[in-house]
Amino acid sequence: MSEEVGAPMSPISAAGGHVPFLHEELCDRDSVPAKCKWPAAPSPPVPDNPQLQSRASLDSIIGEGCRIQVDNSINIIEKWKFKLEDVGIRVVIGGHDSPQPQGVGFAKNQAVIQSSGTYLCFLDSDDVMMPQRVRLQHEAAIQHPNSIIGCQVRREPLDSTERYTRWINNLTPGQLLTQVFTSHGPTVIMPTWFCSREWFCHVGKFDEGGKGVPEDLLFFYEHIRKGGGVFRVDQCLLQYRYHPQAATHSVLEGTIWNHRVRFLEDRALKHWTSFTIWNAGKQGRKLYRSLSTANQKKVAAFCDVDENKIAKGFYTYQESKERPKPQIPIQHFRDATPPFIICVKLDLTGGGFEENLATLHLKEGLDYHHFN
């Protein structure tokens, strides 16, 4: 599903088929950021179980009061076409003739190809947006032209993924950029994204690898690599539904882990000559084993609060082909030397971990990064 701001009102229809690269079709590659050949931009659809709660999602668009473009399940959209157009919302219906699903990234890219609008406003088929979402995020995007704009959310059901929802809604402006390495993924979630089409073209298209590809995470990483910012409108502008059929559950944990490690190495570890891994347990050791050989050699120590782990004195990397096998010291966190890569989950210890970290008076993003 997609929404469009600033588009002409004449209807457009587009068929599916092969999606050309956005840089080739939409953008002038000689300019940075890329200048789009089309003057306006849409936001892409998300076809994960598109029949689920789509009626409420579409109804929420009518309540927005903006000129918007929608692209979703053809059967549902055709039923809603007249109702939407009656309130001035142009409907674009497209598809493809492949016998196999083309995936979430393909669907989003097709929505971009099929539309003409200056800004992209993303809305998943199973979510509901609140009135004024487009207006408020559009105002923020004007002030932050190279940023992905997000917003706060209300989870449905209310008791689902409580830690994750608190994290989404309560990150500070600085943490929107410093906490990009965590297992939670993008610091503003994809169903809340709003950005200029010009910046979208500069970053590039969504990965079209299909099922099992974390296309939103990969796009977010590329956005950060290209110097993009992250901004959140601190109002609840989206009802974010949880359901077990969501496409995100089809992505293997190992796939996401590998992308996260490579991003951490590229964005943080390459700037450090040595560092300490905070967590001598399972997650800390897993991170160590996943690092490149060059970055493994930068690990000065593990640190922990568990006296049993500290008493062991060191961790031996048994899988290493080196002789003798590498042995990394295990220290109490108060004795360890920053910078730290922290492999301890936030908001799980009743504030105990957070209190320990605060006693060191470190600066997030400089002295430590969370990788939990």
Question: 121 and 5 in contact (C-beta within 8 Å)?
Answer: yes
- The predicted pLDDT at position 62 comes to 63
Give the whole-angstrom CA distance, residue 18 versus residue 156: 35
Interatomic CA distance for residues 114 and 16, integer angstroms: 9
Task: Work out the pLDDT band at 204, boundaries 50, 70, 90.
Answer: very high
Is a pLDDT exceeding 60 seen at residue 72?
Answer: no
Examine the pLDDT at 32 and tell me if it is beyond 70.
no
Locate CATH 3.90.550.10 in the chain.
2-252
In the predicted model, what is the mean pLDDT of the chain?
84
Prediction pTM value: 0.83
Q: Topology of domain 268-370, per CATH?
A: Rossmann fold (3.40.50)
pLDDT at 270: 97
| Domain 2-252, architecture per CATH | Alpha-Beta Complex (3.90)
- Tell me what the mean pLDDT of segment 270-282 comes to: 98
* Cα(288)–Cα(282) distance, integer angstroms: 10
Predicted local distance difference test score (pLDDT) of residue 228: 99
Residues of the chain with CATH 3.40.50: 268-370
Give the range among 69-78, 230-239, 333-342, 346-355 with minimum mean pLDDT. Answer: 69-78
Q: Which of 25-29, 106-110, 214-218 has the lowest mean pLDDT?
A: 25-29
The C-alpha atoms of residue 79 and residue 67 are separated, in whole angstroms, by 19
Q: What size, in residues, is the chain?
A: 372
Residue 190: the pLDDT is 96
Q: Does the pLDDT value for residue 335 go beyond 60?
A: yes
pLDDT band at residue 96, thresholds of 50, 70 and 90? confident
The amino acid present at 355, given as its one-letter code, is E
pLDDT of 246: 63
Beta bridge partners of 233: 151
Write out the DSSP string of 231-279: EEEEEEEEEEE--TT-GGGGS-HHHHHHHHHHHHHHHTGGG-S-EEEE-
CA distance 83 to 108: 23
Here the tokens at position 201 are 């073209």
In this predicted structure, what is the pLDDT of residue 8? 30
